[in-house]
Structure 1
Amino acid sequence: MNLDPQGLFRDHSDSDDEFELEKEKDPSKEMVVYLIDASPKMFDLVGNDEDKSQTYFHAAISSISQSLKTQIIGKSSDEVAICFFNTKEKKNLQDLNGVFVFNVNDREFLDQPTAKLIKEFSCIEALRNLAGTFMSNIGSQYGIIPGSRENSLYSALWVAQALLRKGSPKYVSKRILVFTNEDNPFGNITGAAKTDMIRTTVQRAYDAQEMGISIEILPLSIPNEPFNVSHFYADLIGLEGDEVAQFLPSAVERLEDMTDQLTKRIFKKRIVRTISFSIAEGINIEVNTYALIRPALPGSVTWLDSVTNLSLKAERSFICADTGALVHEPPKRFHPYKNENVKFSVDELSEIKRISNGHLCLLGFKPLDLLKDYHNLKPSTFIFPTDEDCGRLHFVFEGFFSVSRI
């Protein structure tokens, strides 16, 4: 079981080769295209309470809006595009019907999230009870209907793929997020036309994935109307076997925790140090320590030379009280014992004060109620195993420790 799917507590190495490998695993920049279904079914109410209910369409708008607000603070270098499909109006460089690109104006690439974009996009969310503004400017319609060769989902994937063609997938993470509550977009057509549309749409998705673009489906559904991914979208994103049954719970969780997941990307955990954790005699495990919470302290004062403006370096010298000469020998400490001064060198004194070699050793367990607030001397530190393949050992050894008087 992978307890760290986001890679928050992964190892960091100073080696150049491993650093390049790390960049490949975790690109520093992300490019995202949000594909929002604007079909009439998306404007149905989610719940029965008219005062508290909202449409599926505005639930998707709200999730994206919250994500953009977090993203502009945490990773403003990322680039995004917002596209509606199944629309009456069209606005895209490919001049395809049924696709309206919200924030790209006469440009080939995506834009960085800005306050202006969030404000304009949030206006759609604020008008969930006055959807006439969206209907009059962009419009809603079913883009896949019997007797027509129009396939708005295929066109939307084509437009998104064209927007994401900039940047190497080695250093840029490219994603297409599809928001829809229609699990069977080709359900109204039959025969050879349906087979051909499904084949071409799935092939378009495979072409995007070969270019390093991942496609994710975020279904919008309620408990009494489950989203059946096996109708079509399982083939689109390549789900097989048990992945089909596990898809819906994980997708709903990703949608609900969309803002939290982006918040995790902001605060990347850095290793303070790596130490050895002795569980029992002959059983040791290396753990990384993380300082999750630390008080914000003002910076130290730096003294500068008034002429050169360079920082000053403090030096200390010892002078003999009898002769006034500089003492070059390292100072020694002493402790009176039975009318005699027992001398200690600095190294000997440090060794006397050393209780252990700095590693952790498990001595036993005590009830939590024995730990009092005044026992704590320093902020707690989170420990996590360095080996990601420890499996269920993670359940035993991950946790917090702090320096205390117990």
Structure 2
Amino acid sequence: MDLDPEDLFKDDEDDPENEFQGREYTKELVVYLVDASPQMFSPISTLDDNKGENHFGIAVNCISQSLKSQIISRSYDEVAICFFNTSKKKNLQDLNGVFVFNVAEREDLDRPTARLIKEFDSIEETFAKEIGSQYGIISGSRENSLYNAIWVAQALLRKGSAKTTDKRMLLFTNNDDPFGDIRGATKADMIRTTLQRAKDAQDLGISIELLPLCRPEEEFNVSLFYADLIGLDDEDLDQFIPSAGEKLEDMKDELRKRMFKKRKVRRITFLISNGISIELNTYALVRPTLPGQITWLDSVTNVPLKTERSFICADTGALLEEPSKRVQSYKGENVKFSTEELTEIKRVSTGQLRLLGFKPLSCLKDYYNLRPSTFVFPSDEVSYICD
């Protein structure tokens, strides 16, 4: 008999196909927004080991490393890479200054692949020729490439429910004041519309996170504009790291914190007593890194294959239409069980945690631990529920 027939202690991410089986499942949709203005290509010359390196190359390298990690640990997540402040445009909305990088030549999110990483790694060499860089927010112009980029990213994140997907934008830039060259009412209007566009995206369940790149001998001042864009209040502003560092390793560490913070792996209900229950979120503290699930494709159409099982009678060769029976020998007789009856026999819980009582910590033995530990915390979205 299975020790956990209801999969009460199984993480949702252990089964990437469970979104089609009616179970709670969280998949991550990520759009990387990379500033491609000319100042991102300025060499970083403050340190000798950074000679010839620029912030655009750091952002590309960090995104590439992140995609490699996702292939191993979360291969069923979907990503898109979007450059803004570009001379050429490529997006469904046909907005100026925004170029969506996609190997498959279709404007949509896709799973990270080796081909995507290989072509993205060489983007810096061909960027000037194939995409180009320019200032998208300049004085005397009504073009607002940052507004356009958020709009395009929001459209890319349109699919999926907020209950089953985490939607995020990760913004890379070294310009803490994108509207600094504009004055008067034009600047106020562009700031207002950009902040409203960001708020509209956040209202749809899309989080916007900033990964700032500091310029030589100058700290990234997030309070000038981006604090309002990403929704930082005074308390959070003090804790926000003003710069992600000039070195590549510093930026990788900062991106890793953004990518893997507090990933919910399951939602369960904790029954206390007298019809009172609490919705809980579980978080993976330590998990082994495993290769992604293999998807079998048809060799001609490249369509994913579906597995179907059929039972054939060993005596007549006829296809069995009725559900199969399980047999257990008992006192010389064969007792038949249907699949549904066997499932009910194995059922030892309701798929929820129930408080039975309290015991001292000394009663908890090491060998009781059947799998890696999971951190349990009350959900902020669902409070007490009365049956």
TM-score range, shorter chain: 0.5 to 0.7
Counterpart in the other structure of 2:204: 211
Instruction: Please give the secondary structure, in 2, of the residue aligned with 1:194.
Output: helix
Is 1:40 aligned to residue 38 of structure 2?
Answer: yes
**CA distance, structure 2, for counterparts of residue 293 and residue 193 of structure 1:** 51
Report deviation, 1:384. Answer: 7.3
**CA distance, structure 2, for counterparts of residue 89 and residue 141 of structure 1:** 9
Identity %: 55
Q: Tell which has more relative contact order, 1 or 2 (C-alpha 8 A, sep 6+).
A: 2
Q: Find the structure with the greater CA-based Rg.
A: 1
Is 1:176 aligned to residue 169 of structure 2?
Answer: yes
| From 143, 153, 168, the counterpart of 1:150 | 143
- Give 1:251-400 correspondences, 5 Å limit: 256-259=253-256
Check 1:118–1:382 CA distance in 2 against 1; reply closer, same or farther (3 A cut).
closer
**Contact 1:79–1:110 (CA<8 Å) still a contact in 2?**
yes
Report deviation, 1:224. Answer: 3.4
Give a deviation string over 1:339-380, Cα, whole Å, max 9, x none: xxxxxxxxxxxxxxxxxxxx98667xxxxxxxxxxxx99999
**Contact 1:86–1:99 (CA<8 Å) still a contact in 2?**
yes
Report deviation, 1:255. Answer: 5.2
Instruction: Please give the secondary structure, in 2, of the residue aligned with 1:244.
Output: helix
TM-score normalised over the length of structure 1: 0.59
Counterpart in the other structure of 1:227: 220
| From 238, 260, 282, the counterpart of 1:245 | 238
**CA distance, structure 2, for counterparts of residue 87 and residue 72 of structure 1:** 28
**CA distance, structure 1, for counterparts of residue 164 and residue 83 of structure 2:** 27
Instruction: Please give the secondary structure, in 1, of the residue aligned with 2:210.
Output: strand
| From 163, 170, 173, the counterpart of 2:156 | 163
**CA distance, structure 1, for counterparts of residue 81 and residue 186 of structure 2:** 29
Counterpart in the other structure of 2:102: 103
Give a deviation string over 1:155-207, Cα, whole Å, max 9, x none: 11111111111222221211111100000000011011111111111111111
Counterpart in the other structure of 1:88: 87
- For 1:58, give the aligned amino acid: G
**Contact 2:212–2:244 (CA<8 Å) still a contact in 1?**
yes
**Contact 2:37–2:86 (CA<8 Å) still a contact in 1?**
yes
Instruction: Please give the secondary structure, in 2, of the residue aligned with 1:32.
Output: strand
- For 1:109, give the aligned amino acid: D
**CA distance, structure 1, for counterparts of residue 257 and residue 209 of structure 2:** 17
Check 1:360–1:63 CA distance in 2 against 1; reply closer, same or farther (3 A cut).
farther
**Contact 2:37–2:134 (CA<8 Å) still a contact in 1?**
yes
**CA distance, structure 2, for counterparts of residue 249 and residue 193 of structure 1:** 27
Instruction: Please give the secondary structure, in 2, of the residue aligned with 1:248.
Output: coil
TM-score normalised over the length of structure 2: 0.61
Counterpart in the other structure of 2:117: 118
Counterpart in the other structure of 1:54: 53
Deviates most, 99-108 or 26-35: 99-108
- Give 1:4-23 correspondences, 5 Å limit: none
**Contact 1:175–1:215 (CA<8 Å) still a contact in 2?**
yes
**CA distance, structure 1, for counterparts of residue 107 and residue 285 of structure 2:** 43
**CA distance, structure 2, for counterparts of residue 80 and residue 245 of structure 1:** 31
Report deviation, 1:73. Answer: 2.1
C-alpha RMSD of matched pairs (Å): 4.8
Report deviation, 1:259. Answer: 4.0
Which segments of 5 or more consecutive residues in structure 2 lack a partner in the other structure?
Answer: 1-8, 13-17, 269-281, 289-313, 316-326, 332-357, 380-387
Report deviation, 1:258. Answer: 2.9
**CA distance, structure 1, for counterparts of residue 28 and residue 61 of structure 2:** 21
**Contact 2:213–2:243 (CA<8 Å) still a contact in 1?**
no
**CA distance, structure 2, for counterparts of residue 382 and residue 50 of structure 1:** 40
